Amino acid sequence: MDIPGISRTLSVLTTLFGISIFVFLVLRVIPGDSITGAFGIETGALTPQQIAELRVYYGIDQPLVVQYFSWMQSFLSGKFGFAYSTGVSVATLTKSALPVTIELAIIGTIFGVILGIAIGMFSAKKPGSTRDFAGQLFGLLALAIPGFVLSTAIVTIMANKFHYFPNGYEYMTPWENPWMNFQQMMFPGLVLGIAVAAPVMRTTRSALLETVDKDFVRTAYGKGVPNNKVQFRHILRNSLIPIVTMTGIQFGYLLGGAVIVEKIFALPGMGRQILDAIMKREYATVQSSVMVFAIMFVLINVATDVIYRKIDPRIKK
Partner 1 sequence: MKISQRRIRGLVAIVASVAVISSSLIASAPAQAASKDLTIGLTLDIDKLDPQGATSFATVRALGLVYGSLVEVGPKLDIRSGLARYWGFNAEGTQLRLHLRKGVKFQDGSTFDAEDVKASLERILDPANKAAARSNILGIKSIEASGLKVVLNLTTPNVAILAALDGVNMSMLSSNDIKAGTIGKTVNGTGPFKYVSWEPGQSVKLARNETYWGAKPKLDTVTFRIIPTEASILSALNAGSIQFSVITSPLVAKQAGSNLKVYRTPGLAYVALQLNAKVAPFDKPGVRLAIQCAIDRSEVVRTASSGEGAVIGPITSPAYASNPNARPCPKVDLVQAKKYLAEAGYPNGLTIKTMVAPTQFATASGTAQSLKAQLAKAGITLEIAAVDDSTFISRWLGANFGSAVANNGGRIDPDTMYTRYFTSTGNLNKVAGYSSATLDANFAKGKSSGRVSDRKAAYVAISRELEDNAVWIWLFSPYEYRVASKNLTGFIPLATGSILELRKADLK
Residues touching partner 1: how many (CB under 8 A)? 61
Separation in Å, CA 147 to CA 54, 109, 184, 194: 39, 14, 17, 9
Assess 183 for contact with partner 1 (CB under 8 A).
yes
Binding residues for partner 1 restricted to 48-77, rule: CB under 8 A: 49-50, 53-54
Contact between 166 and partner 1 per CB under 8 A: yes
d(CA 36, CA 30): 12
Q: CB 265 → partner 1: shortest distance, Å?
A: 7
The single residue among 268, 304, 311, 312 that binds partner 1, judged by CB under 8 A, is 268
Q: Does 97 bind partner 1 (CB under 8 A)?
A: yes
Give the nearest distance from C-beta 217 to partner 1 in angstroms: 25
Q: Which of residues 236-265 bind partner 1 (CB under 8 A)?
A: 263-265
Report CA torsion sign: 58, 64, 68, 69: negative
39 binds partner 1 (CB under 8 A): yes
Distance CA 37, CA 45 (A): 14
The β-bridge relationship of strands 88-89 and 82-83 is: antiparallel
Which residue of 163, 223, 314, 316 would you call a contact of partner 1, by CB under 8 A? 163
Residue pair 151/263 in contact (Cβ under 8 Å)? The answer is no
Asked whether the beta carbons of 24 and 68 are under 8 A apart, the reply is yes
Q: Is 132 in the site for partner 1 (CB under 8 A)?
A: no
In the bound complex, what is the minimum distance in angstroms from residue 238's beta carbon to partner 1?
27
Helix axes 240-264 and 147-162, enclosed angle (nearest 10)? 60
Could you tell me which residues come within 8 angstroms of residue 55 by beta carbon, excluding any fewer than 6 positions away? 35, 61
Helices (DSSP H) in 213-239: which residue ranges?
215-222, 227-229, 237-238
Q: Site for partner 1 (CB under 8 A): which residue of 11, 14, 85, 129?
A: 85
Q: Which is nearer to partner 1, 117 or 300 (CB)?
A: 117
47 three-class SS: coil
Q: Does 41 interact with partner 1 (rule: CB under 8 A)?
A: yes
Among 25, 26, 141, 159, binds partner 1 (CB under 8 A): 159
Asked whether position 128 contacts partner 1 by CB under 8 A, the answer is no
Only one of the segments 42-50, 138-146, 224-232, 292-300 lies at the binding site for partner 1 (rule: CB under 8 A); that segment is: 42-50
Structure-derived torsion over alpha carbons of residues 308, 310, 315, 317, reported in degrees to the nearest 10: 140
- State the residues that interact with partner 1 by CB under 8 A: 30-33, 36-47, 49-50, 53-54, 83, 85-88, 93, 96-97, 152, 155-156, 158-160, 162-171, 179-180, 183, 186, 263-266, 268, 272-273, 275-276, 278-281
